Amino acid sequence: MRGGGWARSRILGLTLFAAAIFTFGLTVHSGYLLGMAVLIALHALVALGLGLLMGWAGQISLGHAGFYGLGAYASAILTTRFGLNPWLALVLGAVGTGLIAFAVGKPTLRLRGHYLAMGTLGLGLIIWTVFNQAATWTEGPSGIRDIPVLSLGGLALDNDQRFYWLIWPVVLVAVMLAGNLINSRMGRALRALGENEGAAAAAGVDVARAKLGVFTLSAVLASIAGSFYAHYVTFVNPSPFGFALSIQLMTMVVVGGEMTVWGPLVGAGVLTVLHQVLAISAQRIPAMEGLEVVAYGAVLVIFLLFRPQGLVAPLRRRGAPPRAAEPPAPRADEVVGEAS
Amino acid sequence: MHGPELLQYLITGLTQGAIYALVAAGFNLVYAATGIINFAQGEFVMLGGLLAVTFVAWHMPLAAAVLLPILVVMAVGAAVHWFAIRPLRRAHVVTLIMITIGVSVVLRGAARLIWGADSHPLPPFTPGDSIGLGGATVQPQSLWIVGVTAVAGVALALFFRRTLMGRAMVACALNSRAARLAGIRVDRMNMWAFAFAGGIGALAGSVLTPMTFTSYDVGTLLALKGFCAAVLGGIGNNMGAVLGGLILGVVESLGAGMFSGYKDAFAFVVLLLVLFLRPAGLLGVGLRRDDQ
Amino acid sequence: MYWSTSRVVVVVLVCLVGVALIASGCPKPPAPVVTPPIPPPTQPAVTPPSGEPIKVGAIFSVTGPGAPLGTPEKETVALVEKMVNDSGGINGRPLEIIVADDQSDENQALAAAKRLIDRDKVVVVVGPTISGTSLAIIKTFEDAKLPLVSCAASIKITQPVKEWVFSTAQPDTLAVARLMEYLKAKKISKIAVVFDSNAFGKSGMDVLEKQAPDSGVTIVAKESFGSKDTTVSSQLTKLKSAKPEAVICWGTNPGPAVVAKEMKQMKFDVPLFMSHGIANRKFIELAGDAANGVVFPAGKLLVAETLPASEPQKQVLLDYTKAFNDKYQKGPDTFGGHAWDAMQLTVQALKDAGTDPTKLRAAIEKTTKFVGVTGIFNLSATDHNGLTKDSFVMVTIKDGNWVLAE
């Protein structure tokens, strides 16, 4: 019965989502709004993978901007230097990024604690330094331009509208696959992980392998999003792929809520819109100028204070502690003490 | 590489490393007490430097201009805990880390509004030329930096071993529930941890600024390096922070002398190597029970 | 009980942000809210502009790493807007400049560009401030077929020529050419280079390496530093051991000031040359004593007062300095100068060709002998920058002031 209910709500969710994509795409013709929608989609793809990692494997990553950048640079270099087909470049980039993530995840994910966070932090910054320094390949800080646009069946996806119709269906498929994953055997293992790593291990779940799998998957998703970014903007330089973006992506997941596939999507949308609202208000009223950055941070802090579980909280898990990953609910015991 | 050159790299590295050690100590204070990686630590350093610049501009004596920011930033640290961290004790550590990120964005944005986007200089604590040393040169300010770090390191060690408050903090870190049962006010101790982290950050900021300059956005990179130093030494371990900072500083300095382009990557390569080979850090992780 | 204090504070904060947002008319204020600027009736001789304002977009890095450059640019376009409207507007119509902050971030620049084009319906955009954001939005303007007049220096912006994209900043190839000329005259042939690892420094390094052999100059050592590095001692130690006749430092504040100070501390006494990246007061303030004696190629704005009367740019330079000083009580800098030129070029083209983007583009491209702050512009279909190395002079710092270097 539970399985049936889940499937029904999932189908409903996906249908509504698809309908929303179609309605927006058909009714909106403003390049600005479509452009924003594309940016949201790109970030949502990365956030989706990050959400799986955070919500279902209880790990955080501070280096996903690096994986996003690896995809972008792989596409940029392979297409402009070697004239590779953009789609092939996208796949190669994703495979390469996956291998790198695997290599870094394997040793760090064996450990308990937030070692993956530290490892990815280091990795992200190393990748960023390489983008800047390996000028023979990356052209350094001044970046690679004239990256070809993607084309589908002879149709060049060279404007916001066309790109919208590519990227949002991709997001839809990614959400669908993520949903499948959560419901699969591996998904159940991951959920067990989120709840109690020790119990999961005792029940025969290969904890390290499951974590490594989801981490690699999230890196691959980030790389694919990065490739799309490169072909959308047709220019890449290192600065968008720094530490700040890694943090922004994490923020999207936390704000959206990490226990459902929809949370990261909502987070990406809300934060991008918030950014724009603040930018527009700074443009309109001089007193707001410079304040928009402060306001962004303040909104984030206040939001987390009042809704730490994220906008899209999981329905079935209400009442359960948000997540009992390590360190094992350090504050819960004190709350009990305070209340009594 | 000749003797004097090597010496110069060492001097530069130790000075730089001392700063990293101070930043790392700030990370450790908060981490040991609460398990939070406080991403606003770099902003504490930035605030310390910029406040010192302002106080000097107000014609305060240099000593006051350097010491007063410590108190101010301690208050900022305490306020961060009281208003942004304490209300959320029930939440998961990741959420709290995200809150510190939000706080750092607010502090950075506010600093930009107050001090603008430009860099600001600060006069050295003691004027005078650099000192020759076996073919290398030492800036007087370097001696201040190393000295201040040494004093701060010893003071922290004494504080945790000898004072009631320090021991209470250790107790909170080891087992907050038991500490509470023993009558320690865990909340208040955590607030003090944030306050001290603010103070030590401000100290780092004001001794560093005469050597380099400061601006509203210096915090991020310093925080990242300081964090590396903390992990390298063993996160939560204060002696580890000093050792980690110094090693990182020297490695970077030598790296900068060889391939300067990848200098910043060295710190992070070291970080990855430590994680792969000796994840507890050189001296082992500090007080927190959760990571044992 | 423990909630009460924090809740009050939090609620107050929420209210503040909320009020700010509501005051901003978020999320979408109705379009006619924007009132056309009404010039004060200080100059009765001029008929105030009337009718539909001509909207010009501007994208500057008001925040983020590019902020020290973007801020004077933003101030400059506000100044130009007022000056144009005070003197009758553009063919009788008021000029309205809508400034967007790209936060020195490529994604924000993209968003700002699309917003200006699509929502605000501007006819031309001035900026962005820095090369990365400029390059990231080129495609947007090529697609929208709207002219973009960048204030960033990367040679990639205008070479090869992009139909809709112009730039008013001197590319570093010209600065290096000027510097090489000077080195040759001073018979300096062995140099060591230390450069900022950002786009400005890296690009400068590449150009130096390309141009050095032709001028008979050998680069005996080169090292880089990060824009936010706290020390450059190690790099300088390395350079010192290579025994160069001069050191060249290519970067933007604050790095070069650290280099100047530390070279002095290390008693590394060779002539120090820098780039136009330090052509602002801040460098002198930061480096203090160590700034004295530094020689660098710069736009003529720094030494406007001391230029001979025969210099065609002199009047423009003095006018800009005075106007900027009157409004902001501080001296202008060369980055603001790029914005001044971009704006004046655009205003001239708008006066000549009207607001049709195609005609406007053609008018900008046809601009010749345009005397600006940065230099004298001669644009053409094959050169969308139009400056020569004569737009640079060699300047040195003496007793904390700029003077022409002999």
Which among A132, A142, A283 has CB closest to C98? A283
| CATH code, B247 | 1.10.3470
B98 within a domain of the structure (yes/no):
yes
Q: Which helix (H) or strand (E) holds A196?
A: none
Q: Are A323 and A194 in contact (CB under 8 A)?
A: yes
C4 within a domain of the structure (yes/no):
no
Structural domains of chain B, count: 1
**Burial level of C292, CB count in 10 A (0-12/13-18/19+)?**
middle
Q: In the block, which residue shows the tokens 């350090």? A: A330
CB contact under 8 A, A304 and B90: no
Which among B34, B102, B272 has CB closest to A297? B102
Number of neighbours of residue C258 by Cβ within 10 angstroms: 26
Instruction: Please count the residues of chain C.
Output: 406
Q: Which residues of B touch A313 (CB under 8 A)?
A: none
The parent domain of residue A92 ranges over 8-243
Contacts of C290 (CB under 8 A, 6+ apart): C257, C260, C261, C263, C264
Q: Name the average pLDDT for chain C.
A: 87
Of C395, C397, C197, C394, nearest to C287 by C-alpha is C397
What is the greatest pairwise CA distance in chain A?
69
Tens digit of each residue's pLDDT (9 = 90 or more) over C86-97: 999 999 999 999
The more confident residue out of C300 and B169 is C300
DSSP output for C32-74: GGSPPP---TT-TTSPPP-SSPEEEEEEE--SSTTHHHHHHHH
Alpha helices in chain B (DSSP H): 3-34, 41-57, 62-80, 93-115, 140-162, 164-174, 176-181, 186-208, 219-233, 238-258, 263-277
A295 within a domain of the structure (yes/no):
no
Backbone φ and ψ of C324, nearest 5°: -65, -45
Structural domains of chain C, count: 2
A307 within a domain of the structure (yes/no):
no
CB contact under 8 A, C118 and A32: yes
Helix A86-108 × helix A64-82 angle, to 10°: 150
Structural domains of chain A, count: 1
The parent domain of residue B203 ranges over 9-116+137-277
3-state secondary structure of C375: coil
Please report all neighbours of C, defined by 3+ CB atom pairs within 8 A: A, B
Alpha helices in chain A (DSSP H): 2-27, 31-51, 57, 64-82, 86-108, 115-133, 135-138, 160-183, 185-195, 197-202, 207-233, 243-256, 262-284, 291-306, 332-339
Q: Are B252 and B16 in contact (CB under 8 A)?
A: yes
Which among A133, A244, A304 has CB closest to B261? A133
The parent domain of residue C225 ranges over 172-298
CA distance B136 to chain C (A): 8
In this predicted structure, the answer to whether residue C167 has a pLDDT above a threshold of 50 is yes
Banded model confidence at residue C327, pLDDT cuts 50, 70, 90: very high
3-state secondary structure of C195: strand
B50 within a domain of the structure (yes/no):
yes
- Strands (E) across C102-137 are located at 124-126
CA distance A210 to chain B (A): 19
B86 within a domain of the structure (yes/no):
yes
Q: Which residues of A touch C154 (CB under 8 A)?
A: 142
CB contact under 8 A, A239 and C104: yes
**pLDDT confidence of residue B173:** 78
Closest C-chain CA to B4: C237
Q: Which amino acid is at A267?
A: G
DSSP output for A22-52: HHHHHH---HHHHHHHHHHHHHHHHHHHHHI
Q: Which residues of B touch A263 (CB under 8 A)?
A: none
**Burial level of B89, CB count in 10 A (0-12/13-18/19+)?**
buried
**pLDDT confidence of residue A339:** 31
Tens digit of each residue's pLDDT (9 = 90 or more) over B92-107: 777 888 899 899 999 9
> Which range has the worst mean pLDDT, A296-300, B13-17, C45-49, C353-357?
C45-49
In this predicted structure, the answer to whether residue C239 has a pLDDT above a threshold of 60 is yes
Of A46, A41, A23, nearest to A160 by C-alpha is A41
Chain A, 52 to 91: residues with Cβ < 8 Å from chain B are 54, 60
Please report all neighbours of A, defined by 3+ CB atom pairs within 8 A: B, C
Rounded CA separation C63/B243 (Å):
36
Q: Are B39 and B101 in contact (CB under 8 A)?
A: yes
Rounded CA separation C338/B281 (Å):
51
C35 within a domain of the structure (yes/no):
no
| Cα dihedral B268→B270→B275→B278 (10° resolution) | -170
Interface test mutation site (partner A, options C33, C61, C74, C118, max chain A beta carbons within 10 A): C118
Tens digit of each residue's pLDDT (9 = 90 or more) over B231-278: 888 888 888 899 999 999 999 999 888 877 788 888 888 888 888 888
Radius of gyration of chain C (CA): 23
CB contact under 8 A, A32 and C115: yes
CA distance A89 to chain B (A): 27
A32 within a domain of the structure (yes/no):
yes
Distance of CA C64 to the CA centre of its chain: 15
Which among A108, A290, A327 has CB closest to B290? A327
Closest B-chain CA to C284: B121
Instruction: Please count the residues of chain B.
Output: 292
CA distance C168 to chain A (A): 18
3-state secondary structure of C194: strand
Per-residue pLDDT tens, chain A, 340 aa: give them. Answer: 444 445 788 888 899 999 999 999 999 988 899 999 999 999 999 999 999 888 877 788 989 999 999 999 999 999 999 999 999 999 999 999 999 999 989 888 877 667 788 889 889 999 999 999 888 899 988 899 899 999 988 899 988 999 999 999 999 999 999 888 888 877 777 777 666 777 777 777 777 888 899 999 999 999 999 999 999 999 999 999 998 899 889 889 988 887 788 999 999 999 999 888 888 888 777 777 677 778 888 888 888 888 887 888 655 443 444 443 333 333 333 333 333 2
Asked if residue C29 has a cis previous peptide bond (ω within 30° of 0), the answer is no
Q: Are B234 and B240 in contact (CB under 8 A)?
A: yes
Region C115-143: mean pLDDT is: 93
C40 within a domain of the structure (yes/no):
no
| CATH code, C284 | 3.40.50.2300
Residues C179 and C289 in one domain: yes
Residues C229 and C262 in one domain: yes
Q: Which residues of B touch A326 (CB under 8 A)?
A: 290
Q: Which residues of C touch A135 (CB under 8 A)?
A: 202, 206
Closest C-chain CA to B205: C230
A315 within a domain of the structure (yes/no):
no
3-state secondary structure of C376: strand
Q: Is A51 on the interface with B (CB under 8 A)?
A: no
CA distance A250 to chain B (A): 8
Interface test mutation site (partner B, options A127, A305, A323, A326, max chain B beta carbons within 10 A): A305
Q: Which amino acid is at B188?
A: R
Please report all neighbours of B, defined by 3+ CB atom pairs within 8 A: A, C
CB contact under 8 A, C115 and A276: yes
DSSP output for C164-178: TEEE-SPPHHHHHHH
Rounded CA separation C125/C138 (Å):
11
Rounded CA separation A250/A132 (Å):
23
In this predicted structure, the answer to whether residue B46 has a pLDDT above a threshold of 50 is yes
Strand ranges of the sheet holding C295-298, from the earlier edge strand across to the other edge: C218-225, C190-196, C246-250, C272-274, C295-298, C393-398, C401-404
Interface test mutation site (partner A, options B30, B95, B266, max chain A beta carbons within 10 A): B95
Banded model confidence at residue C394, pLDDT cuts 50, 70, 90: very high
Contacts of B235 (CB under 8 A, 6+ apart): B27, B28, B31, B281, B285, B286, B291
Q: Which residues of B touch C2 (CB under 8 A)?
A: 86-87
C26 within a domain of the structure (yes/no):
no
CB contact under 8 A, C233 and B263: no
CA distance C126 to chain B (A): 22
Distance of CA A27 to the CA centre of its chain: 27
**pLDDT > 70 in chain C, percent:** 89
Rounded CA separation B115/B52 (Å):
12
Question: In the numeric block, which tokens belong to residue B15?
Answer: 């000075």
CB contact under 8 A, A129 and B265: yes
Of C394, C372, C395, C375, nearest to C319 by C-alpha is C372
Chain A, 157 to 216: residues with Cβ < 8 Å from chain B are none
Q: Which residues of B touch A60 (CB under 8 A)?
A: 94, 97
Q: Which residues of C touch A39 (CB under 8 A)?
A: 107, 110-111
Which among C3, C10, C266 has CB closest to B130? C266
**pLDDT confidence of residue C24:** 37
CA distance B118 to chain C (A): 6
CB contact under 8 A, A327 and B93: yes
Q: Are C374 and C391 in contact (CB under 8 A)?
A: yes
Which among A143, A158, A288 has CB closest to C20? A288
Rounded CA separation A117/B93 (Å):
13
Rounded CA separation C163/C167 (Å):
12
Instruction: Please count the residues of chain A.
Output: 340
Backbone φ and ψ of C66, nearest 5°: -85, 0
Whether the ipTM is more than 0.90: the answer is no
Interface test mutation site (partner B, options A126, A239, A252, max chain B beta carbons within 10 A): A126
The DSSP secondary-structure symbol of C295 reads E
Residues C93 and C164 in one domain: yes
Interface test mutation site (partner A, options C9, C21, C71, C222, max chain A beta carbons within 10 A): C21
Strand partners, C393: C298
A156 within a domain of the structure (yes/no):
yes
